[in-house]
Amino acid sequence: MADTGTTLGAPAERREGRDKVTGSARYAAEQTDAGRVHAWPVVAGIAHGTVRAVHTGAALALPGVLTVLSHDNAPRLAPADDATLAVLQSPRVPHRGWIVALVVAETLEEARAGAAAVRVDYDAVPHDVTLTDDHPDAYTPEQANGGSPAHREQGDPEAAFADAEVRVDTHYRVPPLHNHPMEPHAATARWDGGRLVAHDSSQGATTVRTVLASLFRLAEDDVTVISEHVGGGFGSKGTPRPPVVLAAMAARETGRPVTVALPRRFMAALVGHRAPTLHRFRLGATADGTLTSSLHEVTTHTSRIKEFVEQAAVPSRVMYAAPHRLSSHQVVPLDVPSPSWMRAPGEAPGMYAVESAMDELAVEAGLDPVELRVTNEPDTEPDSGKPFSSRHLVECLREGARRFDWARRDPRPRSRAEGPLLVGTGVAAATYPVMINPAQATAHGTPDGRFVVRINATDIGTGARTVLAQIAAHTLGVPLDRVHVDMGDSDLPPAPLAGGSSGTASWGWAVHDACTRLAARLAGHTGPLPDDGLRTHADTTGSADADSPYARHAFGAHFAEVTVDTVSGEVRVRRLLGVYAAGRILNARTARSQFIGGMTMGLGMALTEGSTMDGASGAFVESDLAAYHVPAHADVPDIEAHWIDEEDPHLNPMGSKGIGEIGIVGTAAAIGNAVHHATGVRYRELPLSPDKVLTGLTGLTPPIPTPTG
Amino acid sequence: MKPYAYARAGSVEEAAELYAAHPGARYLGGGTNLVDLMKLGVEEPAALVDVSRLPLDTVDELPDGSLRIGATVRNSDLAAHPTVRDRYPALSQAVLAGASGQLRNAATTGGNLLQRTRCPYFQDTDEPCNKRAPGSGCGARDGVHRDHAVLGHSPQCIATHPSDMAVALAALDADVELYGADGPRIVPVAEFHRLPGDHPEQDTVIRPGELITGVLLPAAGAGLPSLYRKARDRASYAFALASVAAVIGVEGGVVRHAGIAFGGLAHRPWRARQAEQALLGAAPTTAAFERAADLELAAAEPLRDNAYKIRLARNLAVDVLERLVPPAAT
């Protein structure tokens, strides 16, 4: 790469920041096409059964109502690979909150009034929404999310555990969690003759285009999906969602552009959630803390219509050396909404368990938790035996310990009090895999010395637009302000979604290749450029997705200091520090935002966030941001993210690892471990809310979750 | 949202007339709760009588030393008012413990008292709720009720009143000023909200068409030490799991004045009369505070998942009373 010395790694400001804060950035629901109308879903009031009748007369008689779609009259879609997209296709109700009708009206208010006037009769049958780890319907799937084998076993972990000098045998529970991005899922669709054009709040418009083309039996060239600005997704917009399908359906039926914007209260059931996970964790070690056995068994739920298995036992295959190992998943299909991706699926709940268990082992063996991790640092990836492309977990732990002043810590639990406050500190490691997918991009140099890069990447608030411009400018050896990036439109060269912390690596590789070619052509060109400039194209198929002989992961370490109020049971975080080894950091400003954003979400997972399933209704009861408690500013007083310089030649031309998710991984364990250090009580069920903490402090009931229930 | 009429009142009398002229009307203050409930379909008023610009937006000291807070004084202004902060610190603290800065800038004193429970079953029109739809049942009793009442609930309703401000007002012996068809009247804050009984649809004793015009804080108790403490799931913008407001006067080594109220435990701010009685005339010791709190909370009837509230409320009460009467003063 040509080195301008300033563009790659520099803290460049977000290119669309001004548009966003001034309100001129248009989101999917804000596409005010001429004649645009609105639709409002009607959702199921039962958790299991069938729709017997949809009574639409009263709604159709209301002013402004154009049509009411239900399984009786909605256009037939081609079969969907993702059953959550087969909306209004059958009378079956697989869970509470499933969409059973859609009212289309001239205005949003008329659509909402119409939806309230639709009466639905059901044939309800009993439902089961309660996850237990001895549920009779539990089974071991072939694969967990991401294609990992559900079950892996090496050596004789049971026997090695039984023979271990030091043992930890414990359970953890992580509740259902919801992504709740700031911008609710929304789409605006219109038909131009036989062409479908949709604005969708999505993490990847290319995938949405493919799926819409399939569902509506169109050629992909007859579908355009635009996701220019997206107000967060955290995984919930990584797969196409019902609003864009419904908007396309309704637009076809009415001949008008239609907007479907989900109200917040419908989101809990319709756009995925992190499935609850029940963990049994056993660690066996020698007296000096060397692991001999590791057994991580996860039970989770999925819906009746879609198998999604949160791969929470997978990080056990990456983290620590142990000759005897087991990691397994079982899943229970229930009458619940379909779970899906939420920031660091697998790693976030899995590492809560791994890193809590390691802390328990450190306490049991009387070892420093940092040193225990260093002791068990593997030479190769434990499960695969592959060498790591780079692994600087120990350096992250050491650097974090130095910055956090870990050496001054009194390791004894409940050793520090300030009046009614107990004070504690905790540590946990973090990891997230390197994922890269093929992408295409074009680069265009114009005679006036400007450059345009075109690629259907998506900026969901991460700064992708900015960092791709930096990669282009760096590769071309030109100032950043000479480069324009076109993205967020499926008519652009196809690219994978913003997910799995893979976006920058995947898109950046294609941008790099296109710009490298353009730079070479410019270097070989003499005289003025032709009027329409020079264009190059790159496709990283075959290179970006080539099998690597290396195990490739980012690593990190989280340190937390908490106070636990013995009067109220309130836990507050005083300090949160993350140190990461994630390859080359491409934009110091937006990278820091990703890290501390992930850490803040991990803080929420530890202390405030959780969704509660009502057994009688089958609904998640937290339906707005007043009830689903994401951390407020006041919860995050002192948060720092740092990174170490990591050179890794086995990644991509930029040398970067993904950074969008690792901040949430391990943070909950660091905070939970700090709470144990503060109180001497080991809480094993998240979130650590005052009801649980106070109950544990006063010994009213055992704080240890029962294995079932 | 269904279409509704809208009228802005210029005076209290005009507000009452507009209300009478529009069957199915609701008064609109800051709108921070009512408008949400309209969006949810919980409230479907035929008309809104906007009282937010009535000339009731001042805090005035009255000749007898009491303080009158106009109904349209914004929560932010109330919390920041120097006299309130000086004489009734628990009230300022309670208001600041509620909602968010943005909401407090919009919410009014009258509206704060009249806000509805945040019980999720009340807010979801697909769920049974005797408060929203009398006779439909209570989804929370056997459902998700960690946040619900432990005192004074009924088979029909286990909702809690969400206001922080009202808890402090109850402890401070404040009165509510009302204006209705029969003219003005006064109701103590501690008796303004009801227990649910067989009519959980009635949050308060307010009569149809009556308007809150102000709140009166008595001179007695002004300047005594007072505190509000709230326990919640996050550091800001969360309703109380439990809270306590207390004002206490100690003379000659014994308690001469005690006002204590709990929030988050009941369908109304829970004035702890038994605890107060136990403290009056007693030495202000930790043991006395614990006995008083236990006496008050002995009537608690926790549900499956909210027994923690009893311990929490006891701890908060003892802590607040200890802080109000430091050991050196006892």
Pair (A602, A693) in one structural domain:
yes
Query: Mind listing the pLDDT tens digit for each residue in B82-132?
Result: 999 999 999 999 999 999 999 999 999 999 999 999 999 999 999 999 999
Q: Residue range A650-664: average pLDDT? A: 98
Query: Mind listing the pLDDT tens digit for each residue in A18-57?
Result: 999 999 999 999 999 899 999 999 999 999 999 999 999 9
B236–A635: do the CB atoms touch at under 8 Å? yes
Q: Residue range B245-260: average pLDDT? A: 97
- Greater pLDDT, A3 or B320: B320
Pair (A64, A98) in one structural domain:
yes
Q: How far is CA B265 from CA A651, A695, B64, B169, B194, in A?
A: 57, 17, 34, 16, 13
Query: Mind listing the pLDDT tens digit for each residue in A422-462?
Result: 999 999 999 999 999 999 999 999 999 999 999 999 999 99
Query: What is the tally of structural domains in chain A?
Result: 3
Pair (A21, A63) in one structural domain:
no
Residue A7 belongs to some domain of the structure? no
Name residue, tokens 């009142």: B9
Query: Mind listing the pLDDT tens digit for each residue in B33-86?
Result: 999 999 999 999 999 999 999 999 999 999 999 999 999 999 999 999 999 999
Residue A702 belongs to some domain of the structure? no
Q: What confidence score (pLDDT) does residue A683 get?
A: 98
Q: What is the pTM of this model?
A: 0.97
Q: How far is CA A643 from CA A410, A558, A586, B297, in A?
A: 26, 12, 12, 52
Of A579, A549, A529, which Cα lies nearest the Cα of A649? Answer: A549
**What is the DSSP pairing of strand A571-581 with strand A639-643?**
parallel
Pair (A685, A654) in one structural domain:
yes
Instruction: Residue B118: list chain A partners with CB under 8 A.
Output: 626-627
H-only helix segments in chain B: 12-21, 34-40, 75-80, 82-87, 89-96, 101-106, 109-113, 120-123, 165-171, 189-192, 273-279, 286-297, 308-324
Pair (A295, A358) in one structural domain:
yes
Q: What confidence score (pLDDT) does residue A105 get?
A: 98
- Of the candidates B33, B52, B71, which is a domain's last residue? B52
Residue A330: both structure tokens together: 């079982």
Q: Scan residues 11-30 of B and list those with Cβ closer than 8 Å to A.
A: none
Q: Say if CB A610 and CB A354 are below 8 A apart.
A: no
Q: Residue range A574-585: average pLDDT? A: 98
Residue B136 belongs to some domain of the structure? no
Q: Which residues contact A152 (CB under 8 A, 6 or more apart)?
A: A317, A325, A326, A327, A328, A383
Residue B322 belongs to some domain of the structure? yes
Supply φ then ψ for residue B87, to 5 degrees.
Answer: -100, -25
Q: What confidence score (pLDDT) does residue B129 get?
A: 98
Domain CATH code at residue B248: 3.30.390.50
Residue B194 belongs to some domain of the structure? no
Query: Mind listing the pLDDT tens digit for each residue in A277-308?
Result: 999 999 999 999 999 999 999 999 999 999 99
Query: What is the tally of structural domains in chain B?
Result: 2
- Of the candidates A539, A563, A581, which is a domain's last residue? A539
Residue A11 belongs to some domain of the structure? no
Q: How far is CA A423 from CA A208, A416, A427, in A?
A: 49, 5, 14
- Rounded distance between C-alpha atoms, residue A503 and residue A134, angstroms: 39
Q: Scan residues 238-267 of B and list those with Cβ closer than 8 Å to A.
A: 238-239, 241
Q: Say if CB B197 and CB B158 are below 8 A apart.
A: no
Nearest CA distance, A61 vs chain B (angstrom):
15
Residue B241 belongs to some domain of the structure? yes
Residue A3 belongs to some domain of the structure? no
- Of the candidates A252, A270, A288, which is a domain's last residue? A270
Of A198, A273, A182, which Cα lies nearest the Cα of A231? Answer: A182
Q: Say if CB A413 and CB A424 are below 8 A apart.
A: yes
- Residue B234's pLDDT band (cuts 50, 70, 90): very high
- What interface predicted TM-score (ipTM) does this complex get? 0.97
- Residue A1's pLDDT band (cuts 50, 70, 90): very low
Of B263, B65, B76, B101, which Cα lies nearest the Cα of B166? Answer: B263
**What would you measure as the largest C-alpha separation in chain A, in angstroms?**
84
Q: What confidence score (pLDDT) does residue A281 get?
A: 98
> B306 — contact with chain A (CB < 8 Å)?
yes
B144–A116: do the CB atoms touch at under 8 Å? no
Nearest CA distance, A62 vs chain B (angstrom):
11
H-only helix segments in A200-346: 205-215, 242-254, 264-270
- Rounded distance between C-alpha atoms, residue A149 and residue B17, angstroms: 72
Domain CATH code at residue B31: 3.30.43.10
Positive or negative: CA dihedral A328, A332, A338, A342: negative
Residue B176 belongs to some domain of the structure? no
Pair (A405, A288) in one structural domain:
yes
Chain B residue at shortest CA distance from A701: B308
Say which DSSP state B18 is in.
H
Above pLDDT 70, what percent of chain A? 98
Query: Mind listing the pLDDT tens digit for each residue in B2-35?
Result: 789 999 999 999 999 999 999 999 999 999 999 9
Range of the domain at B33: 5-52
Q: Residue range A197-213: average pLDDT? A: 98
Q: How far is CA A508 from CA A178, A467, A495, A652, B205, in A?
A: 30, 8, 10, 9, 65
The sheet carrying B270-271 orders its strands as: B226-231, B242-251, B254-263, B270-271
Residue B262 belongs to some domain of the structure? yes
Pair (A265, A401) in one structural domain:
no
A635–B40: do the CB atoms touch at under 8 Å? no
Pair (A370, A454) in one structural domain:
no
Above pLDDT 70, what percent of chain B? 98
Query: Mind listing the pLDDT tens digit for each residue in B183-212?
Result: 999 999 999 999 999 999 999 999 999 999
- Residue B221's pLDDT band (cuts 50, 70, 90): confident
Instruction: Tell me how crowded residue A649 is: count the other CB atoms within 10 A of its CB.
Output: 9
Pair (A466, A558) in one structural domain:
no
B235–A634: do the CB atoms touch at under 8 Å? yes
Q: Scan residues 673-692 of A and list those with Cβ closer than 8 Å to B.
A: 687, 689-691
Catalytic annotation on A661? yes
Residue A702: both structure tokens together: 């055992």
* Residue B328 pLDDT greater than 70, yes or no: no
Pair (A372, A391) in one structural domain:
yes
Residue B115 belongs to some domain of the structure? no
* Residue A705 pLDDT greater than 80, yes or no: no
Residue A10 belongs to some domain of the structure? no
Range of the domain at A608: 145-177+274-434+549-697
Instruction: Residue A695: list chain B partners with CB under 8 A.
Output: 308, 311
Positive or negative: CA dihedral A454, A458, A460, A463: negative
Chain A residue at shortest CA distance from B100: A632
H-only helix segments in A585-665: 588-607
- Between A265, A607, A691, which is nearest B241 by CB? A691
Query: Mind listing the pLDDT tens digit for each residue in A50-91?
Result: 999 999 999 999 999 999 999 999 999 999 999 999 999 999
User: Which amino acid is located at A60 in the chain?
Assistant: L
H-only helix segments in A134-179: 157-163
Chain B residue at shortest CA distance from A632: B236
* Residue A709 pLDDT greater than 80, yes or no: no
- Residue A624's pLDDT band (cuts 50, 70, 90): very high
Pair (A289, A155) in one structural domain:
yes
Q: What confidence score (pLDDT) does residue A536 get?
A: 98
Residue B320 belongs to some domain of the structure? yes
Query: Mind listing the pLDDT tens digit for each residue in A316-374?
Result: 999 999 999 999 999 999 999 999 999 999 999 999 999 999 999 999 999 999 999 99
Residue A569 belongs to some domain of the structure? yes
Query: Mind listing the pLDDT tens digit for each residue in A96-136?
Result: 999 999 999 999 999 999 999 999 999 999 999 999 999 99
Residue A305 belongs to some domain of the structure? yes
Pair (A576, A670) in one structural domain:
yes
Instruction: Tell me how crowded residue A709 is: count the other CB atoms within 10 A of its CB.
Output: 11
Query: Mind listing the pLDDT tens digit for each residue in A242-268?
Result: 999 999 999 999 999 999 999 999 999
Q: How far is CA A266 from CA A96, A243, A631, B111, B124, in A?
A: 10, 11, 21, 28, 11
A569–B126: do the CB atoms touch at under 8 Å? no
Query: Mind listing the pLDDT tens digit for each residue in A545-555?
Result: 999 999 999 99
Instruction: Residue B41: list chain A partners with CB under 8 A.
Output: 116
Instruction: Residue B100: list chain A partners with CB under 8 A.
Output: 632
Q: What confidence score (pLDDT) does residue A169 get?
A: 98
Q: How far is CA A178 from CA A72, A275, A625, B66, in A?
A: 32, 9, 11, 49
Above pLDDT 90, what percent of chain A? 97
Domain CATH code at residue A208: 3.30.365.10
- Of the candidates A487, A506, A539, which is a domain's last residue? A539
Q: Say if CB A472 and CB A515 are below 8 A apart.
A: yes
